[in-house]
Structure 1
Amino acid sequence: MLMTKTTKIFGANSVKVQRQKQPGRSSPSLQNAPSRWEKIRLAQFLRLPLYFLIALLCILGSPVLAKVPGSSNSSSQLPINSLMSLTLAVDPASLLQQGKVLYNGGNFAKAVEVLQQAVQAYKQQGKTLRLAATLSNLSLAYQQLGAWSQAQQAITESLNMLKGQDGNQNLQIFAQSLDIQGRLQLTMGKAEAALATWQQTEKIYKEVDNKSGVLRSLINQAQAWRTQGFYPRSVKTLDQVSQTLKSQPDSIEKTVSLRSFGDALLVLGDLEKSRQALEQSLKIARNLQSSADIGASLFSLGNNARKQQDKAKAIAYYQQTVEISPSPLTKVQAQLNHLGLLIEDQQWAEIQTLLPLIESQLDQLPLSRASIYAQVNFAQSIEKVNSAELQASNKNYLPQLPTPIRLRSRQANSPLPTPHSPLPTPHSQLPTPHSPLPTPHSALLLASAIQQSQSLGDKRAEAYALKSLGGLYEKTGQWSEAQDLTRKGLALAQSSNAPEISYILEWQLGRLLSAQKDISGAIAAYDGAVETLQSLRKDLVVNKDIVNQDVQFNFRDSVEPIYRQSVELLLKSQEGKPDEKILEKVRQRIEALQLAELDDFFREACLQGQRIALDQVVDQDNPTAAILYPIILPDQLQVIVKIPKQPLQNYTTQISHTEVEKLLVELRKNLVNPTATKAVQTQAHQVYNWLLKPIESQLQKSGVDTLVFVLDGALRNLPMAALYDGKQYLVEKYAIALSVGLQLLDPKPLVQQQLKALTAGLTQPPPGFSNFAPLLAIKSEFEGISKAGVSTTSLIDKDFKKKNLESEISAASFNIVHLATHGQFSSRLEDTFILDFDGEINVKDFDTLFRSQGKTIVELLVLSACQTATGDSRATLGLAGAAVRAGARSTIASLWQIDDESTAMFVSAFYRELKTGKISKAEAVHRAQLQLLKHPNYKAPSFWSAYVLIGNWL
Structure 2
Amino acid sequence: QTAIALRSLGDALRFVGDLNQSRTALTSSLAMAQQLQREDLVHTAQLSLANTLQAQEDDDSALILYRTLAQTASQEIQVQALSNQFTVLMNRGQVADARALWSTLQTQFSSLSPSQPALFARITVIQQLIRLGVANTPSRSEQAEQLAIAIQQAQAIGDVRSESYGIGTLGLLYETTGQWGEAQSLSEQALTLAQSMNATDIGYLWQWQLGRIYKALGDRARTPQLKQQHFQKATSAYSDAVDSLQQLRTDLVAVNAQVQVSFQDSVEPIHRELVSLLLDPTRNDTTPDDIEKARIVIESLQLAELDNFFREACLDTESVDIDQLDAKAAVVYPIMLRDRLEVVVSFPNHDLKHYTTPVPRETVETLVDQLRQHLTLRISNRFRPGMARMYDWLIRPMLPDLDANQVETLVFVLDGALRNIPMAALYDSGAKTFLVESFSIAVTPGLQLVNPQPIQEQNLAVLTGALSEARQGFSALPNVVPEVEQIQSTVPAQVLLNEEFTEESFQSALQSNAEPIVHLATHGKFSSNKDETFLLTWDGQLSINALNDVLQVSTLNQSGPIELLVLSACQTATGDKEAALGLAGMAVRAGARSTVATLWQVNDEATALLMEQLYEELSSRQVSKAEALRQAQLRILHDPQFRNHPYYWAPFILVGNWL
For normalisation by structure 1, the TM-score amounts to: 0.64
2:78 partner amino acid? K
Deviation of the 1:731 alpha carbon: 1.0
Is residue 523 of structure 1 aligned with residue 523 of structure 2? no
Question: Does the aligned pair in 1 maintain the 2:114–2:154 contact within 8 Å?
Answer: no
Say if 2:10 is the partner of 1:262.
Answer: yes
Q: 2:244 is matched with which residue: 526, 532, 536?
A: 532
* Amino acid across the alignment from 1:715: L
1:943 aligns to 2:648 (yes or no): yes
Decide whether the 8 Å contact of 1:640 with 1:648 is kept in 2: yes
| Residue 379 in structure 1 maps to residue 126 in structure 2 | yes
**How far apart are the structure 2 equivalents of 1:705 and 1:806?**
38
Per-residue deviation at 1:457?
A: 2.4
Q: 1:4 is matched with which residue?
A: none
The amino acid across from 1:704 in the alignment is V
Deviation per CA, 1:535-584, whole angstroms, max 9, x where unpaired? Answer: 2222469987689xx97xx2121111211211222223994355322211
Contact 1:542 1:604 in 2 (8 A): no
SS in 2 for 1:897: coil
Query: Within the alignment, does 1:316 sit opposite 2:64 as a pair?
Result: yes
Q: What residue in structure 1 maps to residue 312 of structure 2?
A: 604
Task: State the AA in 2 paired with 1:782.
Answer: V
Contact 1:278-1:297 within 8 A present in 2 as well: yes
User: How many Å separate the matches in 2 of 1:273 and 1:582?
Assistant: 43
Find the counterpart in structure 2 of residue 82 from structure 1: none
CA distance in 2, matches of 1:919, 1:364: 74
- Say whether 1:369 aligns with 2:74: no
TM-aligned CA distance change 1:698 to 1:255, over 3 Å: closer
1:811 aligns with 2:512: yes
**What is the CA-CA distance between 1:509 and the residue it aligns to?**
0.7
Cα distance, 1:382–1:701 mapped onto 2, change above 3 Å: closer
Q: 2:168 aligns with which of 431, 454, 467?
A: 467
1:565 maps onto 2:273 in alignment: yes
Identity of aligned residues (%): 42
2:392 aligns with one of 674, 689, 709: 689
Q: CA deviation at 1:302?
A: 2.7
The answer to whether structure 1 residue 863 and structure 2 residue 561 are counterparts is no
In structure 1, list runs of 5 or more residues that go unmatched.
1-252, 388-398, 400-434
Residue 743 of structure 1, CA deviation? 3.3
Partner amino acid, structure 2, of 1:451:
Q
Partner of 1:890: 594
Cα distance in 2 for residues equivalent to 1:802 and 1:332: 50
1:777 and 2:479 matched? yes
Kindly tell me: are residues 280 and 607 of structure 1, through their superposed partners in 2, closer, same or farther at Cα, counting changes over 3 Å?
Answer: closer
How far apart, in 1, do the equivalents of 2:561 and 2:88 lie? 45
Structure 2 residue aligned with 1:327: 74
Shift of 1:470: 0.5
Q: AA paired with 2:123?
A: V
Instruction: Please tell me whether the aligned partners of residues 343 and 394 of structure 2 are also in contact (alpha carbons under 8 angstroms).
Output: yes
Change over 3 Å in CA distance of 1:488–1:300 after alignment to 2: closer
Partner letter of residue 295 of structure 1? Answer: H
Counterpart contact for 2:130–2:172, Cα < 8 Å? no
The superposition leaves residues 683-721 of structure 1 with CA deviations (integer Å, 9 ceiling, x where unpaired) of 111111111112223323433221111112222222100
1:757 aligned onto 2:462: yes
Q: Are 1:845 and 2:559 matched, yes or no? A: no
2:183 is the counterpart of 1:482: yes
Equivalence for 2:369: 665
CA deviations 1:851-872 (Å, max 9, x no partner) are 1498662111111122222222
Q: 1:258 to 1:371 in 2, by over 3 A?
A: closer
Partners in 2 of 1:674 and 1:544 — Cα distance? 51
Report 1:296-315 matches (<5 A).
Answer: 296-315=44-63
| Alpha-carbon separation, structure 1, partners of 2:120 and 2:148 | 12
Q: Secondary structure at the match of 2:518?
A: strand
Compared CA separation, residues 609 and 436, structure 1 to 2 (3 A): same
Letter in 2 for 1:468: T
Distance in 2 between the 1:501 and 1:742 partners? 30
- Stretch moving more, 883-892 or 651-660: 651-660
> 1:369-518, aligned counterparts within 5 Å?
369-387=116-134, 436-517=137-218, 518=230
Q: Deviations over 1:487-532 (max 9, x none)?
A: 1111111112111111111111111111111111111111221222
**Structure-2-length-normalised TM-score:** 0.91
Higher relative contact order (CA 8 A, sep 6+): 1
Query: 1:603 and 1:542 mapped to 2: Cα distance?
Result: 16
**Aligned-partner SS, 1:612:** coil
Q: Give the Cα–Cα distance (whole angstroms) in 2 for the partners of residues 310 and 756 of structure 1.
A: 49
Please show how residues 719-730 of structure 1 align to structure 2 within 5 Å. 719-726=422-429, 727-730=432-435
Check the 8 A contact 1:307/1:546 in 2, yes or no. no
Question: What is the distance in 2 between the residues matched to 1:823 and 1:497?
Answer: 44
Equivalent residue of 1:572, what SS? coil
Change beyond 3 A, Cα 1:603–1:484:
same
CA separation of 1:346 and 1:753: change in aligned 2, threshold 3 A:
same
Alpha-carbon distance in 2 for matches of 1:601, 1:903: 29
How far, CA to CA, are the matches of 2:489 and 2:69 in structure 1? 64
CA deviation vs aligned residue, 1:654-694 (integer Å, no higher than 9, x gap):
222222222222222211221332x2111111111111112
Shift of 1:385: 4.7
Matches within 5 A, 1:174-189: none
2:356 — aligned with what? 652
- Tell me by how many angstroms 1:606 deviates: 2.9
C-alpha deviations, 1:326-361, integer Å up to 9, x for none? 423333333333333222221235434544555554
- For residue 655 of structure 1, what is the amino acid of its counterpart? V
Q: 1:853 to 1:344 in 2, by over 3 A?
A: farther
Please give the secondary structure, in 2, of the residue aligned with 1:948. Answer: strand
* Counterpart residue type for residue 720 of structure 1: M
SS in 1 for 2:279: helix
- Corresponding letter in the other structure for 2:187: T
Q: CA deviation at 1:437?
A: 2.7
CA separation in 1, counterparts of 2:555 and 2:91?
41
Q: Are 1:797 and 2:498 an aligned pair?
A: yes
**C-alpha contact (below 8 Å) 2:248/2:254 kept by paired residues:** no
Could you say if the C-alpha distance between residues 297 and 798 of structure 1 is closer, same or farther in structure 2, counting changes exceeding 3 Å?
A: farther
Q: Taking structure 1 as reference, are residues 270 and 536 closer, same or farther at Cα in structure 2, changes over 3 Å only?
A: closer
> Secondary structure of the equivalent of 2:250?
helix
1:593 aligned residue: 301
Q: What is the alpha-carbon distance in structure 1 between the residues aligned to residue 85 and residue 641 of structure 2?
A: 54
Instruction: Please state how far the C-alpha of 1:297 moved relative to its aligned partner.
Output: 2.6
Q: Which amino acid aligns with 1:797?
A: N
- The residue correspondences of 1:8-407 to structure 2 (distance < 5 A) are 253-322=1-70, 326-359=73-106, 361-362=108-109, 365-387=112-134
Shift of 1:471: 0.6
Q: Is residue 930 from structure 1 mapped to residue 634 from structure 2 by the alignment?
A: yes
**Residues in 2 aligned to 1:886 and 1:381: alpha-carbon distance in whole angstroms:** 40
CA contact (8 A) 2:4 2:41 kept: yes
Which residue of 735, 748, 752 corresponds with 2:453? 748
Q: Return the alpha-carbon distance in structure 2 between the equivalents of residues 718 and 534 of structure 1.
A: 29
Instruction: Name the SS for the 2:22 alignment partner.
Output: helix
Deviation of 1:950 after TM superposition, in Å, equals 0.8
Structure 2 unaligned spans of 5+: 219-229
Say if 1:360 and 1:846 are closer, same or farther in 2 by CA, change over 3 A.
farther
Q: Is the 8 A contact 1:268 1:542 kept in 2?
A: no
**Separation of aligned partners in 2, 1:545 and 1:670:** 44
